[in-house]
Homo-oligomer: A and B are copies of this chain.
Amino acid sequence: MIDYLLRQKERISRSLDEYLRVELRELFESHPFGTDAATRLYDFSSRGKMIRGALVYLGAELYGYQGSDKPTTRLAAVMELLQSFLLIHDDIMDGDTLRRGAPSVFAQYERLGIDRSLAEPRHFGEAMGICAGDVAIFLATGLVAHDDVPVALERRLLRLISTEIARVGLAQMSDVYHGVYPEQVAESEIIDLYRYKTGRYTFSLPLMCGATISAAPERDIETLGRIGEGLGVVFQIKDDYIGLFGQTAAIGKKVGSDVAADKKTLYRTYLFERASASDRDHLATVFGASEPSPEDIAFVTRCMHLYRVVDDVENVLQNYADETRQSIRNDIPDMPENGREMLEQLLEYNLNREA
């Protein structure tokens, strides 16, 4: 499955390149920072695996799509532009200067500010990053209205995208709040965030867009949305695991950055519930510290095992995976058998990936 998804990247990249460098060249050239921004957006987008874009093709294939790859490719590029916008803005909010194995976009502009001796280069970088993200959004919506996308599908696609990304923004507000709120976050609220922010956005939206292009029944598209939520919960719990226990080179961002940002993961909730008073006091100084030391991170890791947090979160993960697997098998009987198998493979990938 992952090979199938990764193989789509080339045509999405090519399409994005054509859109940004050829079709929109005049627009960018009429602004001093335009061509530079287009290049940064292209480069930034290209450094991702483009899984969300690839899921548009999968969504269409679930229903045996045999049409031109123009609409799917354009929609895939829309997904990737939206993903870039979200990451660009998120990195400003979280202060993450490293992303996809390179400086994040606001950090690139901060560097530009330093090189040109501008006052307050950090603030300059953040402001330029906000703009770059905003521009990416309207490049994405413009692409929904592209000639390659059947006009008859535009309304449904635009509604899907608008609703789901508005949802991401609202979920991101909770995420920001939890990032600085010193209290525990309840398990149910964390799962809701995973469902809405990762699930509906990363999985439901592109799969639903692809299924829409493939003229899937409206009812199935809704069910796919719910299956996407389950895929997202599984993906995100695994992502938290990798964020805590992975290596910088493999994950493309700094190990411990989730700890530094005090991300309210399920791991963290369980850990603070179970740790002894003295361990909890120590942990409280590490989570949210601006630069946790390697020793601090190692301490967090030790506690995660000591208090059986890793095992129990793994159980939660398996339960969501089971539920989603059942839903794939039973709740979309109109989907071709081959499509259900592909969805199950996607679930297994989310469950077993290591980076």
Q: A residues touching B (Cβ–Cβ < 8 Å)?
A: 27-28, 30-34, 37, 85, 89, 92-93, 95, 113, 116, 118-120, 123-124, 126-128, 130-135, 137-139, 141-142, 144-145, 151, 154-155, 158-159, 161-163, 165-167, 169-174, 176-177, 180-182, 189, 196, 288
Contacts and interface: CB of A to CB of B under 8 A. Distances in A.
B135 A170 contact: yes
A113 B180 contact: yes
22 contacts: A27-B166, A27-B170, A30-B167, A31-B173, A31-B196, A32-B189, A37-B173, A93-B126, A118-B177, A118-B181, A119-B288, A120-B180, A124-B176, A127-B176, A128-B176, A134-B137, A134-B169, A134-B172, A142-B166, A145-B154, A145-B158, A154-B155
Nearest to A166: B138
User: How would you classify the secondary structure of chain A's contact residues: helix, strand, loop or mixed?
Assistant: helix
A206 to B, nearest CB: 16
Contacts of A134: 85, 89, 133, 137, 165, 169, 172
A158 B170 CA distance: 23
A200 to B, nearest CB: 11
Nearest to A134: B169
A173 B131 contact: yes
A203 to B, nearest CB: 18
Contact of A124 (B27, B37, B166, B180): B180
Given A173-B37, A174-B31, A142 B163 contact: yes
Contacts of A93: 126-127, 130-131
A178 to B, nearest CB: 9
A134 B37 CA distance: 19
